[in-house]
Structure 1
């Protein structure tokens, strides 16, 4: 027997609340291919799968954390005896 797909669809207002975006930012991210289009749920009604919005947020957090780890490694590699060495020195 196949498993039933259980997925919550959330409306635009919830997407904006979760991401902190404005209406225009949402549609710009969609136009740029950075965020997926919503799913039509009726005439003039669109919603987004909750899992996709959560995955987008998780990717952004992971990107931030990866950049922070690189910056920390760079800083640690440029220290000698607790003194930071600048590139121009």
Structure 2
């Protein structure tokens, strides 16, 4: 099955994060790593971004239930 690859502007729109926050999250392991597309191009698997969003929602729900 083919997966959709999102470029950074689309990832910013989906997550509400800006470039610096995305790359800071990648560096500290709290955001999915990009997939290399070429010498100077990267993208993120849409499924990785959706999973990241679901994890943030689960964290929110767990903290509000505590």
Q: Which TM-score applies when normalising by structure 2?
A: 0.93
SS across alignment from 2:42:
strand
Q: Which residue of 2 aligns with 1:10?
A: 6
More helix by proportion, 1 or 2?
2
Q: Tell whether the 8 Å contact from 2:32 to 2:52 is kept in structure 1 after alignment.
A: no
Q: What is the number of equivalent residue pairs in this alignment?
A: 66
Q: Give the Cα–Cα distance (whole angstroms) in 2 for the partners of residues 28 and 21 of structure 1.
A: 11
Q: Give the Cα–Cα distance (whole angstroms) in 1 for the partners of residues 57 and 32 of structure 2.
A: 18
Q: Which TM-score applies when normalising by structure 1?
A: 0.70
Runs of 4+, deviation exceeding 4 Å: none
Cα RMSD between the aligned structures?
0.8
* Structure 2: gaps of 5 or more residues: none
Q: Give the Cα–Cα distance (whole angstroms) in 2 for the partners of residues 32 and 43 of structure 1.
A: 23
State how 1:65-84 maps to structure 2 within 5 Å: 65-70=61-66
